[in-house]
Chain A
C-alpha cells in the first residue's frame, strides 16, 4: 500500500470505504476500494470476488477499469480508475436545470455501449442505477460496481431474485423470476434514461415491491397472459387490478424527443421477451442523429 498516497474518502461502497489516492510512482489518481476481510465470518465477500473476476476481463471505455488488487493488513484493496462523480451527484449539481438533449443522448448511448460490451461478454450487471454510473471530467460514462454482476448463460438452477435496487428492478424479477438474461439490465437502462431526461427524478420510486409494481402497471398497463404469456406462473405472481395507461409519455418525459420516447417505450416492456436488447437499442434512430 506504500505505492499509494491516500487523499480523501470518496464514499462508502457495498462492502467498504472508497478513497481517492495518488500513485506515488506515476502520479496517477486512482480510487481505492477497501474490502474488510473477516476470517471468522464467510471470508472474502462475494461482491469483491465477483468484481475482481469479472472486471479483470472487461476493458471498455464505458466500463470502469480495475487496475490492481492489493492485499495488506487484513484488507483487500481494489485499485480502480478514478472518476470525478457519479450520475446521481451530477443530477444534484444540475439543480433541476434541464440537461442538454445532446448530452442526454450521449449519456444514454454510452450506457448502452457499456452494456452491450458486458452482455456480449456474457456478464450481467444486475445493479444499474445512477449511483453506479460514474462520470469522468469529460462526461465519459462508466459502468461501475460489479458486486452483483454475474456471468450468465450457464445452466445454473436459478439466479438470485434479490438483485437490482428496487426502483430499477424489472417486473419479471419483482414477480420472483429466477432465470433472466440481459433484459434485466435493459429495464434498468430504460428507467435511467427517463431519469436522465428528467434530471434525476426517478421514474418508478416505489416504496416496496407491491408499490413498485403498481407504479409500473399504472404507467404501462397491467400485464396479462396475452401480452406476457406465462406471467402467472412466476413464483411471486399475484394478480393486480387491470389498469390502463392514463398518462401519456410526453407528460412523463417532457424533455425527450419523440424518437427518444419511442426508445424508452421499447425498453420499458413488462414482458422480458419483448424488451429491446442493447444491440438493437444502439441502432435505434434516436442515436443516428449523433452520427449525422
Chain B
C-alpha cells in the first residue's frame, strides 16, 4: 500500500460482476458500464518484496478511491469481495519482484455466485503516458479494437499489444498481464506494433482464464474511462454443433430481411387498401337483435364429445390450430378467434347470425389451420435483442451487438418483428407505444402494477393471436386494462373514472371501447386470471421501470 504506488503508471483491466442485480435487458439505471471510471479507482497493491514468496497473499485494493467524487459506484462492496481477491492471487504472484510496476488486473474472474454479466474496463491514469494518450483518439480506439480482435483470434497470441509484460522469463501459466513503470511504458508503445514479442506468451493465460472463468453467454463490456461508452461488448459462447446451426441461421438473415421488407411493403399496402385485416377482433353491437353469441356452438356437431357444453371450458392443451377466417361478406357474419384443437373440436367462441350458422360450420371444418403457439410473455422483447455479429473462432466465438441510431434501430426492430410474426398487423414500436399509453392511464388512476401487467398480458395475447388491426388497437388496449381492473377489485367509481380518462387519452368513444369487452374476453377464452408465469415478466418490468 505504498502511496507512491498510486502514482505509478498503470492500466487496469478489471472484471467485475455488475449486471447481476439487473435481471432484465440491462438498460436499467443501475447499469452504468463505467463504474470503474476514474483513475485511481482501484488498483492492486503489490505484495512487498518481503512477502514475495507468500503466494497466498491476497491482493488488496488501495483505499482512497472512494475519495474520487465523480465515480459512480453501484456496488462498491463487490470490489472488495473475497472472491475477487482470491481471483487476483494468481496475479499477485506475477507482480513479485516488480517494485515500480503498477498492477494490471486481468479481471476475468467471474466467480461471483450471482454473476450474470461481467465488465471489463480499461483503466488509465491521467499521466501523459504515450500509450494512454494515444488511446484517446478515435483512430487509436480502432486500433485497440483491432488488437483486441487479434488477441482473441490468434491462438498463439502473437500480437497482443493491449497489455503486455516484458519479462519473458515469467512462467506463462502463472501470470496474467503486467505493466511497467512509465519509462518502460513508453518503450512499450514504440514496440507496440512489433508482432511476435517474446511476451506474447503472457496473453495466453489471459484468454485461457477468460474462457474458463466466464460463464457462457455473459456479456463483457470494455469501456474507456474518458468517454464512458463501451468500446466493445462481447460474450463468450461455447462453440458447438448447436451454435453452428444458429450461425447458419444468422448468416441467412440478410437474405430474409430483404424478403421481409417486401412482405412489409405489400402488407402495408394491403392494410391501406382494405382498411383492416380479416382476422381482427371486432366489436359487438349491443343494440343488434341479431347478435347471437353461443359458446360451444361447434361442439354440438362433434361426435367425439358427449356433451356440447363442456367444451368451452376444456382448455386446449395440445397444439392449437387457428382456423383461417372466412372473408366476411356481410357485417353480421363473421367469426372471432375460432380455434380448433388437434382433437378437432374446440371452438372458443363464435359470433354468427342464426341463419348462417350451418354454412359457417361446414366451411370452418374444411379449413386449414395455422399453427398457433402458446403465448410467451417475453417473446416480443426478444425481438429487440437486436442485431449481432458473431465472430466464430476455432475454440470460441464472440458476439458483437451493433449499435444503430434510434430511427434505424426502430426500423430494424420492426422488420425483425414482422419477419418473426407475419400475422401481426402491428409494428412492435406501435405495440410499445400503446403499452406506454396504458401505463400512463394506469398511473393516472393509481392502478397497481400487477393489474397493469395482467392487462399487458391480455393485450399481447390478442396481438399474438393476430387479432389486432389499425381500427381496433386502441380499443383493445383500453379494454384490456378495463377488464383487468374489474377483476382486481377496483370499485365502480374508479372504473368509471378510468373510462372517462381512457376516452380522452385514447380518443375513442366509450361505446366503442365497451363493444370490445366481450370479444376480448372470449378471444382469451375467458382465461382472465392468467397463470402467474405469464404476468410476472410484465410485472417485473413495470416494477423496475424498464418497459
What residues make up the interface of A, taking CB atoms closer than 8 Å to B? 1-3, 37, 39-40, 42-44, 46, 49-50, 52-54, 56-57, 59, 66-74, 76, 79, 150-151, 153-160, 162
Known contacts A37-B286, A42-B496; is-contact A155 B295 (Cβ 8 Å)? no
Q: Which of B134-142, B158-166, B307-315 contacts A (4 or more CB under 8 A)?
A: B307-315
- Residue numbers in A under 8 Å from B289 (CB-CB): 73
CB closest chain-B residue, reference A50: B487
What residues make up the interface of B, taking CB atoms closer than 8 Å to A? 284, 286-287, 289, 291-296, 309-310, 312-313, 354, 448-451, 482-483, 486-489, 491-492, 495-496, 499, 510-511, 514-515, 517-518, 521, 525-529, 532, 535, 539
Contact of A150 among B286, B482, B487, B514 (CB under 8 A): B487
CB closest chain-B residue, reference A151: B529
- The reply to whether B313 and A156 contact each other, CB–CB distance below 8 Å, is no
Known contacts A52-B521, A157-B450; is-contact A67 B309 (Cβ 8 Å)? yes
Query: Is chain A's binding surface mostly helix, strand, loop or mixed?
Result: loop
Known contacts A68-B294, A69-B295, A73-B289; is-contact A49 B450 (Cβ 8 Å)? no
The distance in angstroms between the C-alpha atoms of A72 and B290, with both chains bound, is: 8
- The reply to whether A53 and B450 contact each other, CB–CB distance below 8 Å, is no
- The reply to whether B287 and A156 contact each other, CB–CB distance below 8 Å, is no
- The reply to whether B487 and A154 contact each other, CB–CB distance below 8 Å, is no
The distance in angstroms between the C-alpha atoms of A150 and B490, with both chains bound, is: 12
- The reply to whether A156 and B296 contact each other, CB–CB distance below 8 Å, is no
20 contacts between A and B (CB under 8 A): A42-B492, A42-B514, A43-B482, A43-B514, A44-B517, A46-B487, A49-B486, A49-B526, A53-B487, A53-B527, A56-B313, A57-B313, A67-B309, A68-B312, A71-B293, A79-B309, A150-B488, A154-B532, A157-B449, A157-B450
Contact of B528 among A49, A72, A154, A158 (CB under 8 A): A49
- The reply to whether B295 and A68 contact each other, CB–CB distance below 8 Å, is yes
- The reply to whether A56 and B312 contact each other, CB–CB distance below 8 Å, is yes
Distance in angstroms from B524 CB to nearest chain A CB is: 9
The distance in angstroms between the C-alpha atoms of A259 and B172, with both chains bound, is: 80
- Residue numbers in A under 8 Å from B521 (CB-CB): 44, 49, 52-53
CB closest chain-A residue, reference B479: A43
Known contacts A56-B313, A67-B309; is-contact A43 B448 (Cβ 8 Å)? no
- Between B294, B312, B492, B529, the greatest number of chain A beta carbons within 10 A of the residue's beta carbon is seen for B529
- The reply to whether A154 and B535 contact each other, CB–CB distance below 8 Å, is yes
- The reply to whether A66 and B486 contact each other, CB–CB distance below 8 Å, is no
- The reply to whether A67 and B310 contact each other, CB–CB distance below 8 Å, is yes
- The reply to whether B489 and A160 contact each other, CB–CB distance below 8 Å, is yes
8 closest A-B pairs by beta carbon, nearest first, are A71-B293, A46-B486, A157-B448, A160-B489, A53-B528, A151-B529, A43-B514, A67-B309
Distance in angstroms from A157 CB to nearest chain B CB is: 4
CB closest chain-B residue, reference A43: B514
- The reply to whether B293 and A72 contact each other, CB–CB distance below 8 Å, is yes
- Residue numbers in A under 8 Å from B532 (CB-CB): 153-154
- Residue numbers in A under 8 Å from B482 (CB-CB): 42-43
- Residue numbers in A under 8 Å from B517 (CB-CB): 43-44
Known contacts A70-B295, A159-B489; is-contact A52 B511 (Cβ 8 Å)? no
CB closest chain-B residue, reference A3: B294
CB closest chain-B residue, reference A74: B286
- Residue numbers in B under 8 Å from A40 (CB-CB): 510-511
For the A-B complex with A42-B482, A157-B450 known, give 14 more contacts whose Cβ atoms are closer than 8 Å.
A2-B354, A44-B521, A53-B526, A53-B529, A59-B313, A66-B313, A71-B284, A71-B294, A73-B291, A154-B532, A154-B535, A155-B539, A156-B450, A156-B488
The distance in angstroms between the C-alpha atoms of A153 and B532, with both chains bound, is: 9
- Residue numbers in A under 8 Å from B296 (CB-CB): 68
Contact of B511 among A39, A49, A79, A151 (CB under 8 A): A39
CB closest chain-B residue, reference A39: B286
Distance in angstroms from B220 CB to nearest chain A CB is: 34
Distance in angstroms from B24 CB to nearest chain A CB is: 17
- Residue numbers in B under 8 Å from A72 (CB-CB): 291-293
